[in-house]
Amino acid sequence: MINVDKIRADFPILKRTVHGKPLVYFDNAATSQTPQVVIDAIVDYYSNYNANIHRGVHTLSQEATDKYEQARIKIQHHFNAKEAYEIILTAGTTDSINRVAAGFASLLNTGDEIIVSALEHHSNIVPWQMLCEKTGTILKVIPMLEDGSLNMEAYHNLLNDKTKLVFCNHVSNALGTVNPIEVIINAAHKVNAAVLIDGAQATPHIKPDVQALNVDFYVASAHKLCGPTGVGMLYGKQEWLEKLPPYQGGGEMIATVTFEKTTYAGLPHKFEAGTPNICGGIAFGAAIDYLNSIGFDEIAAYENELLAYGTQELLKIEGLKIYGTTKDKTAVISFNVNDIHPYDIGSILDKLGIAVRTGHHCAQPIMDFYKIPGTIRASFSFYNTKEEIDVLVAGLKRAVMMLS
């Protein structure tokens, strides 16, 4: 059972006020807040052992290297990757996807097909479009249905022996709907296509097992997981990471360099050119430890309670429509009230200390599907409370009255 008062005490930011009101932070799908243990890990790094990694013989460098590599192992265990070197530390989900897309540019040919879902964040659309422009590969789209799920029949019909890669999010950031990634992965493998799953929204709520999923690539961002911004992970099956060429050239990713020929380092360094976000990687590991100390089953159970309560209370508001109504959802409620512009409601809520996201949530195709400019998105985390949901509902009623 979650002890929410105890958990809230771990997050210094939750004590602050906004416009004189206690902060109600419901923008967790954009970024999560940071517990003191993660802040402490950042301060400890810069206070005590700030040094470049992997190449120094001195103590500070060795300490930093050990902590950074320990973080990689924590991430490996968390996602149940077979090997630590299958975890590439990146700048985040966007960066991870771009690294894979850049690699596939040398593996794909004109007329090959790749499949995207209609529910993607722009960061899982645009890099692939850029790849298609370069290679002449054809991008096919799995259509979505009214409830925010994917049209799986259409997906099965899209797959054929020209399909080389399928990419889809585990959970939609705009709607919170959970996609049937097991089915997506197994069906893709039947035609020998690789699969990349964007776990940016899933990982704060679900602990994925990349071996059980048999997924080829799984990507996520630390900042959605109570970690810092600018760091994330790319899990890739060893066989795929070996097939892909290096992403960037530079220090750290080489074995030997002469002007005639350079040979590349093995995994994971082949994909980690330059000085990485050392402190960020270490803090990512601390964030994973923190979340596991609470427990993902406990987190999911509590957030589901918040989702059920929030859905029930918001639907009491006349004219409120929720987008994304599948049974299997994480704690995200995306909605509009009548035809009031989401931005106007969001601005009034901010004056009341309530942080929600308004707009297209970097998923314009979903908004086009519903023929709306955007939604208001309230996304809950395990440190939120039902009382805060009551504050949102009261604030929303006030905003609707002012704007109607």
**Cα distance between residue 175 and residue 323, in whole Å:** 6
List the one residue out of 160, 220, 190, 206 whose CA is nearest residue 330.
Answer: 206
65 interacts with ligand PMP by CB under 6 A: no
198 interacts with ligand PMP by CB under 6 A: yes
Q: Which is nearer to ligand PMP, 92 or 342 (CB)?
A: 92
Backbone angles phi and psi of 121, in degrees to 5 = -70, 150
**Cα distance between residue 272 and residue 274, in whole Å:** 7
Residue 78 near residue 304 (C-beta atoms within 8 A): no
28 interacts with ligand PMP by CB under 6 A: no
CB of 96 to ligand PMP, least distance (A): 8
Tokens of 170: 């585990």
Q: Which of 201, 277, 381, 384 binds ligand PMP (CB under 6 A)?
A: 201
CB of 368 to ligand PMP, least distance (A): 17
93 interacts with ligand PMP by CB under 6 A: yes
**Cα distance between residue 6 and residue 12, in whole Å:** 12
The footprint of ligand PMP on this chain (CB under 6 A) covers a number of residues equal to 14
Q: Which of 94, 98, 334, 379 binds ligand PMP (CB under 6 A)?
A: 94
Q: How far is CA 342 from the centre of its chain?
A: 23
90 interacts with ligand PMP by CB under 6 A: no
123 interacts with ligand PMP by CB under 6 A: yes
Looking at residues 261 to 320 of the shown chain, list those that interact with ligand PMP (rule: CB under 6 A): none
Q: Which is nearer to ligand PMP, 123 or 149 (CB)?
A: 123
Strand partners of residue 262? 257
360 interacts with ligand PMP by CB under 6 A: no
**Cα distance between residue 230 and residue 221, in whole Å:** 8
Tokens of 31: 């970024």
27 interacts with ligand PMP by CB under 6 A: no
Those residues with Cβ within 8 angstroms of residue 239's Cβ, 6 or more apart along the chain or in another chain:
none
173 interacts with ligand PMP by CB under 6 A: yes
CB of 169 to ligand PMP, least distance (A): 5
Q: What angle do CA 205, 306, 377 make, to 5 degrees?
A: 75
Q: Which is nearer to ligand PMP, 169 or 358 (CB)?
A: 169
**Cα distance between residue 27 and residue 323, in whole Å:** 17
**Cα distance between residue 377 and residue 331, in whole Å:** 10
Q: Which of 169, 203, 330, 334 binds ligand PMP (CB under 6 A)?
A: 169
**Cα distance between residue 256 and residue 261, in whole Å:** 8
Q: Which of 28, 135, 221, 375 binds ligand PMP (CB under 6 A)?
A: 221
Q: Which of 10, 65, 85, 92 binds ligand PMP (CB under 6 A)?
A: 92
- Contact residues for ligand PMP (CB under 6 A)? 92-94, 121, 123-124, 169, 173, 198, 200-201, 221, 223, 362
